[in-house]
Copies of this chain bind each other. A is one copy, B any other.
Amino acid sequence: MTDMKRAAVLGASGYTGADVIRLLLDHPFVEISLLGAARKAGLPVDAVFPHFAPYDLPDFVSVGDIDWGSADFDVVFCCLPHATTQEVIKDIRDVSDVLIIDLSADFRLRDPDVYAEWYGGPHKAASLQASAVYGLTEIYRKEIAEARLVACPGCYPTAALLALLPLVQAGLIDPARITIDAKSGVSGTGRSLKENLLFTEVAEAMHPYALGAHRHMPEIEQELSVAAGGLDLKISFTPHLIPINRGELLTIYVEHMGDITTEDITACWQKAYNKEAFVHPLAGATVPATRMVRGSNHVVMNAFSDRIDGRSILSVALDNLVKGSSGQAVQNMNLALGFAESTGLTQAPLFP
C-alpha cells in the first residue's frame, strides 16, 4: 500500500463528500487520508454516515486545523459550500501546489463580473481563476490532465453540455433557442436543513423551482457561448424537484439549423462519443431513464423528432451525485494523476 496516492476530502459530511468517499473506497490506487468537516470535527465517520461503519476511515477534522504546508496529500477534493471554497483553496494554494478537485461553483465561471452577478458579490480568490480548468471531462480532457485546479461542473450543466456542445459546435442547432426542462432528485439540493426538503414536503409531490434564476444558467451559457464562437447566449432553463434520491433528467427542446434532421443529431453524438466509457447515445428509440444510470458514472442520451417541424427533443439522464458531481470529480482526478480514466468508476448501475 506504500504507493497509494493520498486524498483529502473537505466538506466530507455532505452528500457529494459521501459519494467521493464511496468511490475512493473502491479505488485501487488512492486512499483516504483526511476527512474535513467543520461542524463535525472530532466525530468518527459513522456518527455522520452510519453506512460507512464497516470501513476504516479517519475521524473528521476541522479544515481550519490542517497545516497545508506540511501535509503530503496528492489530491484534495473540495466538497465545501459555494463561497466558502474559494477562501479555503486560496489558503491551500498559498503554501501548496497540491492537485485540487473542486466540486463547488467557485471556479466554474471565468468572467468575474458574471460570478459577482450570480453569487452575490466579488470573488475572493479571483487571481486563481485563470488557473482553473472547467472539469467537463469529455470536453476538456487534455486541459484537465495538466491542471492543478479543476472546477467540476454543476450536475445540470454536465448533462446539458454533454448533449448540446457537440451540436452547437457542429452548427446543427440554434444556440439562441435552447429550452432546457430539467428534473432532479433531492440529493442534488444537499444535506441542509430546510423545511421544503423534509420527506413530508417532497414525497408524493413535485414542483419547479428557481424559475428563471438558477445559478447553473450562466455556467451553461458560458460553455455554449464558447462553442458558438463567442456569441453572448441566453438559455431557458427550468429545474424541477422530483421525489427520488438520485437521478437527473433533462428534456431539451432545440431548433434545427437549416435542413438538418434528428438523425443528424444522433450521428453527431455517435461521432463525438463513440470511444467514451461513460457517455452513451442510445440506439433506436430507446428512451433515457434515470434508472439506467443510478449509482454509476454513465450518461445516456437520445434525440426524438418534435411534432413541430424543424425541432428535436433531446433527452439526457445521469446520476447527479456521480457523473453529475463526485464521479466526474474522481474521473478528473484519474486524468490529473495519470491513472486510466475509469479507474474506480466501473460499478454498474443499481437497478432496481
Contacts and interface: CB of A to CB of B under 8 A. Distances in A.
Interface of A: 15, 18, 21-22, 25-26, 46, 49-55, 176-177, 179, 181, 183, 186-187, 191, 193-195, 197-209, 211-212, 217, 234-238, 240, 242-247, 249, 251, 253, 277-278, 280, 282-283, 285-296, 298, 300, 304-309, 311, 313, 315, 317, 321, 346-352
Contacts of A49: 351
A203 B329 CA distance: 26
A15 B200 CA distance: 9
Nearest to A262: B212
Contact of A199 (B179, B203, B289, B321): B203
A292 B203 contact: no
Contacts of A242: 183, 206, 242-243
B203 A313 contact: no
A53 B347 contact: no
Contact of A55 (B206, B207, B208, B348): B348
A301 to B, nearest CB: 11
16 contacts: A51-B294, A51-B349, A53-B282, A53-B300, A54-B277, A199-B202, A204-B352, A205-B289, A208-B315, A211-B285, A211-B313, A235-B307, A240-B249, A242-B242, A242-B243, A295-B350
Nearest to A317: B207
A280 B15 contact: no
Contact of A205 (B195, B290, B296): B290
Contact of A203 (B179, B203, B206): B203
B244 A204 contact: yes
Given A51-B291, A290-B205, A352 B246 contact: yes
Given A249-B207, A350-B350, A212 B292 contact: no
